[in-house]
Amino acid sequence: MDSKTDMQQHSIECTLIRFEEKFAMLATHDGFEFPWPQNRLPQNLKKGDVVRLVLKTTRTEKMEEEKLAKEILNQILKKD
C-alpha cells in the first residue's frame, strides 16, 4: 500500500469548534468531540478551521524518512 493511501485510511478530518482553557475542542464529521492541547496545534489555527489527524507508527515514520532521504540523494546524484 502506498503512503498516500495509507494516510487516507489512517487519518480523520476534524474541525476546531472552540477553545477551552489550555485545550482546543475538535469535532469529527459525525459529531464526536475531543480536547487537543492548544500548544500542539498548528500556528494561527482559528475556530472553524479543518485539520487532519494522522496515525502512524514510529516504524512507518522511519521508513518514510528513509524513502525521502533516498529520493533526495538520487536527485542530487542524478546526472543530466
CA 42 to chain centre: 10
Using CA atoms, how far apart are residues 58 and 30, in angstroms rounded to an integer?
28
Q: Residues 31-45: what's their mean pLDDT? A: 95
pLDDT at 31: 93
How is residue 64 written as a grid cell? Answer: 518514510
Work out how many domains the chain is built from and give that number. Answer: 1
Residue 32 above 90 pLDDT? Answer: yes
User: CATH no. for residue 53?
Assistant: 2.40.50.140
Q: Which residue has the higher pLDDT, 26 or 61?
A: 26
Number of Cβ within a 10 Å radius of residue 3: 13
> Which structural domain range is residue 26 located in?
3-77
Q: Average pLDDT for residues 30-54, to the nearest whole number?
A: 95
Contact 54, 10 (CB under 8 A): yes
Q: What is the pTM of this model?
A: 0.66
Please, which contacts does 5-9 make with residues 24 or more away whose CB atoms are closer than 8 Å? Answer: 6/60, 7/54
- What is the DSSP code (8-state) at residue 32? -
